[in-house]
Chain A
Amino acid sequence: MNTSGLNGLMQNAAALGEKSRACLNDFKAWVQLDSTNLSDGQQLAVKYFTVAVILFFAQILFGLLAATQFIYPSFLYEILDFNVNRMIHINAMIVWMLYGFIGCVYWFLEDESGTEIVGLKLGNIAFWVLTVAVTVVVLVYLLVQIGPGKDSSLWFINEGREYIEAPRWADIGIVVVMLIFFYNVVATFSKGKWSGIAGVLTLDLVALAGLYVAGMFYMTNITHEQYWWWWVIHLWVEATWEVLVGVIMAWSLMKLLGVRRKIIQTWLYIEVALMFGSGILGLGHHYFWIGTPEYWLTIGGFFSALEPIPLVAMVVHAVYDSGTHAFKNGNHPALAWIIAQAFGNFFGAGVWGFMHTLPQINLYTHGTQWSASHGHLAFFGAYATINIAFFYLAIQHWRGDVWMGGGSQNAWRWKWALGLLNGGVLGMTIALLIAGYEQSFIERAVEGSTWGGYFTAQNHPSFQSAMVWRLFFGGMTFAGFILLVWDLLTIGKGETRKAPEVVET
Chain B
Amino acid sequence: MDETPLWASESFWKKTAIWVTAGSFLVLVVLTFDSLSKTSAGSKRVPAYAVINKKIDYQYDKELHKSMPVIGENEFLFGKEYSEEEALQLVDLGKKTTQAKNCMNCHTLLGNGAYYAPDLTKAWLDKGWISKDIREDMMVKFLMDPEKNARTFGSNRKMPNLKITEQEAKGIIAFLKWMSSIDTNGFPYNFKTIEAEE
Contact = CB atoms under 8 A, between A and B. Distances in A.
A310 B152 CA distance: 45
A161 B115 CA distance: 14
B171 A149 contact: yes
B182 A265 contact: no
A271 to B, nearest CB: 8
Contacts of B99: 153-154, 158-161, 218
For this complex, into which size category does the number of interface residues on chain A fall?
A: 35 or more
Contacts of A223: 39, 45-46, 110, 182
B16 interface: yes
A74 interface: yes
B104 interface: yes
B98 interface: yes
A202 interface: no
A-B pairs with the 5 shortest C-beta distances? A149-B97, A160-B99, A455-B153, A449-B188, A83-B105
Interface in A357-400: 363-364, 366-369, 371-372
A146 B100 contact: yes
Q: Determine chain A's interface SS by DSSP, over half rule.
A: helix
Contacts of A265: 10
Given A272-B17, A289-B184, A455-B155, 19 more contacts: A70-B116, A82-B116, A84-B102, A145-B102, A150-B100, A154-B96, A162-B112, A165-B105, A220-B91, A222-B109, A226-B112, A266-B9, A273-B16, A288-B187, A366-B111, A444-B190, A450-B127, A451-B123, A455-B153
A458 B35 contact: no
A86 B110 contact: no
B101 A160 contact: yes
Interface string A325-353: 00000000000000000000000000000
B145 interface: no
A87 interface: yes
B154 A459 contact: yes
Contacts of A86: 105-106, 114, 116
Contacts, number: 260
A266 B8 contact: yes
A458 B155 contact: yes
Contact of A367 (B21, B108, B153, B162): B108
Most buried by B among A148, A154, A222: A222
A458 B128 contact: no
B192 interface: yes
A148 B92 contact: no
B34 to A, nearest CB: 7
B189 A364 contact: yes
Contact of B185 (A83, A297, A367): A297
A182 interface: no
B157 interface: yes
B165 A148 contact: yes
A481 B190 CA distance: 43
28 contacts: A73-B157, A73-B158, A81-B106, A81-B160, A87-B105, A148-B168, A149-B168, A157-B100, A158-B100, A160-B98, A162-B104, A218-B96, A224-B40, A226-B109, A281-B28, A291-B46, A292-B39, A293-B38, A293-B45, A299-B31, A366-B187, A367-B115, A445-B190, A447-B190, A448-B189, A450-B118, A452-B127, A452-B153
Interface of A: 66, 69-70, 73-74, 77-78, 81-84, 86-87, 145-151, 153-154, 157-162, 165, 196, 218, 220-224, 226-227, 229, 262, 265-266, 269-270, 272-273, 276-277, 280-281, 283, 286-297, 299, 363-364, 366-369, 371-372, 439, 444-452, 454-456, 458-459
A223 B171 CA distance: 18
Interface of B: 8-10, 13-14, 16-17, 20-21, 24-25, 27-28, 31-32, 34-36, 38-41, 45-46, 49, 88, 91-106, 108-119, 121-123, 126-128, 147, 151-158, 160-163, 165, 168, 171, 179, 182-192
Nearest to A90: B105
Given A293-B34, A366-B111, A147 B100 contact: yes
Nearest to A464: B155
Contacts of B92: 220
B41 A448 contact: no
Nearest to A447: B190
A455 B115 CA distance: 11
Contact of A149 (B25, B38, B96, B184): B96
